[in-house]
Amino acid sequence: MAWTKYQLFLAGLMLVTGSINTLSAKWADNFVAQGCGGSKEHSFQHPFLQAVGMFLGEFSCLAAFYLLRCRAARHPDASMDPQQPFNPLLFLPPALCDMTGTSIMYVALNMTSASSFQMLRGAVIIFTGLFSVAFLGRRLALSQWLGILATIAGLVVVGLADLLSKHDDQHKLSEVITGDLLIIMAQIIVSIQMVLEEKFVYKHNVHPLRAVGTEGLFGFVILSLLLVPMYYIPASSFSGNPRGVLEDALDAFCQVGRQPLIALALLGNISSIAFFNFAGISVTKELSATTRMVLDSLRTIVIWALSLALGWEAFHALQILGFLILLTGTALYNGLHRPLLTRLSRGRPLAEEGEHERLLGASRTPINDAS
């Protein structure tokens, strides 16, 4: 069945905003500017402040939810029907996981390329599958286990591509390896977040935009408060600011004042995550979770192509192989092969029955969304 103009708009919005989200964060990392007190020029490396901005973007989804609810009051919408009462503190544990995983990934993005960052996030399938068996009592199909194995193989190939690529002063080999490992470690935390959401949150039938916005509120408030002690915690060589502390928010604001384009990059990151979450939820509702997965894979291609075009990274053929293997693993895990085989063998339309169950937390992809 042909897509409507609205569905095409949603698909395009998800693809564009999802790509902007990663690219704008990397663009901010590439800027060099003076900090406070006349310090010499240095890279804009403020991952925790960037994570605060990401949560601000998620928090804005609450505004979208209430706007939709006001609209539903005039034009009834089944998705905005009154929902059962729930305790907002249910969102605190997943928000803490989101906060930790996102912060780690922003640190990693300073160390590795945007394309590797996006591809390695595919590791979330491995841990999500294992945790769903251990804590949700699920039984994975053979195709899902094969998908996990393919994903592991794809991660190895992408890692080899990073090892064999040429490295400049900005991204030394040791930093690239550390960044790649941090991304994979963050996916463990993201998987825990998704399991917590499914076990404790989704059974309350909370609207996805409300769920995203509430977690964003918790993450924004908590991480903003944590910026204060981070200003005094020494981090030696792990730090990217002149004072050598875990996060220097004042230095970040000084750099933004001296290089306004950083503010544009941060604004792009904040706004894109809000529209990306809205578009992703809408694509799942209007089209299917499988369509959302395909669009997320296309997002990786867009990020990789633009990173090459902008000269942010060098081409390596192994990345193509790694991406294709990761794509195969994702397709197998999410059962994409089944409707295709059904259509080929029986000539019937693509079946979407059960795909929401196969995609753990399909109604919402964390930024680290993702994935």
Write down the mean pLDDT value for the chain: 84
Domain assignment present for residue 263? The answer is no
Question: What is the per-residue pLDDT across 195-211, written as a single tens digit (0 to 9) for each?
Answer: 888 887 767 778 888 88
Give the model's pLDDT for residue 173.
Answer: 81
Give the model's pLDDT for residue 101.
Answer: 94
Q: Which two tokens stand for residue 270?
A: 């904040």
Question: What is the per-residue pLDDT across 344-353, written as a single tens digit (0 to 9) for each?
Answer: 666 545 444 4
In degrees to the nearest 10, what's the CA dihedral of 224, 230, 232, 235? -160
**Residue 12: CB partners within 8 Å, gap ≥ 6?**
none
Alpha-carbon distance 64 to 209, whole Å?
7
Report yes or no: 123 and 91 within 8 Å, Cβ to Cβ: no
Residue 293 has pLDDT above 70, yes or no: yes
Give the model's pLDDT for residue 238.
Answer: 76
Domain assignment present for residue 94? The answer is yes
Domain assignment present for residue 25? The answer is no
Predicted TM-score of the model (pTM): 0.85
Residue 286 has pLDDT above 60, yes or no: yes
Q: Amino acid identity of 145?
A: W
Average pLDDT over residues 204-224: 89
Domain assignment present for residue 17? The answer is no
Total structural domains in the chain?
1
Give the model's pLDDT for residue 77.
Answer: 61
Domain assignment present for residue 110? The answer is yes
Report residue 20's pLDDT band, with 50, 70 and 90 as the boundaries.
Answer: very high
Domain assignment present for residue 219? The answer is yes
Give the model's pLDDT for residue 350.
Answer: 44
- Work out the percent of the chain whose per-residue pLDDT is above 70: 86
In degrees to the nearest 10, what's the CA dihedral of 186, 192, 197, 203? 160
Element (H, E) at 279: helix 260-286
Report residue 169's pLDDT band, with 50, 70 and 90 as the boundaries.
Answer: low
3-state secondary structure of 21: helix
Report yes or no: 270 and 54 within 8 Å, Cβ to Cβ: yes
Q: Which two tokens stand for residue 349?
A: 């339309």
Total Cβ atoms within 10 A of residue 285 = 14
Alpha-carbon distance 39 to 349, whole Å?
63
Domain assignment present for residue 257? The answer is no
Average pLDDT over residues 35-40: 84
Look at the chain and count its residues: 371
Separation in Å, CA 83 to CA 3, 41, 168, 194: 30, 52, 53, 21
CA dihedral for 201, 204, 210, 214, sign (positive or negative):
negative
Question: What is the per-residue pLDDT across 84-116, written as a single tens digit (0 to 9) for each?
Answer: 677 888 889 999 999 999 999 999 998 888 999
Residue 352 φ then ψ, to 5°: -115, 5
Domain assignment present for residue 93? The answer is yes
Range of the domain at 321: 45-73+86-252+316-342
